[in-house]
Amino acid sequence: MSKIIVFGASGQLGQCLQHVAKERSITDIVFLPEEQADILDTGKLQTVFAEYKPAYCINCAAYTAVDKAEDELEIARKVNKDGAANLAQLCGQHGTTLVHISTDFVFAGTGNKPLVETDEAAPISVYGLTKLEGEQAIPAHTSQYFILRTSWLYSEYANNFVKTMLKYGREREEMRVIWDQAGTPTYAIDLAGCILTIIESQSQAYGIYHYSNEGMTSWYDFAQAIFELSNTPVRTVPIRTEEYPTKATRPAYSVMDKTKVKTTLNLAIPHWRDSLKECLSRL
C-alpha cells in the first residue's frame, strides 16, 4: 500500500487508527506527533510532504472543545478552517488524497429525518461553523478528497462520553442526562476501519460522506445502555436540554443517513449498541 500520513495522531481517532492499522497489518502508515506536524505550520508541513511523498493524508487534527470555541472563534477557525486548507493545498500540489474528518455539528438539527450529504449545512455553534468552513476550504485546493462527517465519537482512548459516564456512574447514585437530543454514537474504532477501507479500496469516488454507527438514540438512552452493559448500578434521570445549559447550542436532531458510504464501499456498519458492547469489553 502507498504511504499514508496521519495528522492529529495522538488524539482519540488517531489512536484508533493505530489500533486498526496494526490489526490489519498496515505498515506503510506514519503517525505524526503534533510537534512534527502542526497543521498551522506550513513550513513543517512542506517538509513532511517532501519527505514522505504520501499517497494519502488523514486529518484527525481539530479544535473540538465545543463550548470553549464560543469564546475562541479565531483559534477554532485557525485549526478547523486554515489547518484543513493548508493540508488540502499540499495534497493538491503532491497528488495526495486527503481524508478529512468533519462533524454532524455542521447541521442546525431542526429536522426529524436522517440527514443526507446534500442537506443544507447551517451550523448553530462556533465549532460547527469552523468545521463547515474547513469543509468548504478543501475543494479550492484539491479535487482528491474524502470528507467524513461523524457524530458522538467515543472509544477506549482519550476523554469521551462513555468514559465520563463510567467514571461518574461509579461515584454517584444518580445521573441526570439529556433526553431530547437525538443522534447516533460512533465507535471511533469503526470510523478508523471505514477510513482505512476507503484507502484500501483505492476508491476515487471523492466527496462528502456521512459515517456513524447504525440506529439512533438520545444521550439519556445512550447513558442507560452504558450503565446497563457495564453493570453500573446508578439511577439515570432524563432531563431537557434547557435544564443543562451550555455555552454552545447543540443540534437537537443529527441522525445521519449512511446510504452513500455503505453503497460506495459495500460497507457493513454495526448497530451502536453492538459497538458499545465491543468498546466496553476493552475497557
Q: Is 206 a catalytic residue?
A: no
Please report where in the chains the cell 481539530 appears, as a residue. 62
Q: How many CA atoms lie within 13 A of 195 on its CB side?
A: 35
Cβ(250)–Cβ(218) below 8 Å: no
User: Bridge partners of 150?
Assistant: 103
Catalytic residue (choose from 63, 127, 157, 253): 127
CA-to-CA dists, residue 158 to 128, 132, 154, angstroms: 21, 24, 8
Sequence-ordered alpha helix ranges (H) in the chain? 12-23, 42-52, 73-77, 83-94, 126-137, 161-171, 188-201, 219-229, 259-265, 272-282
How far is 16 from 51, CA to CA, in rounded Å? 25
> Which amino acids are annotated catalytic?
127
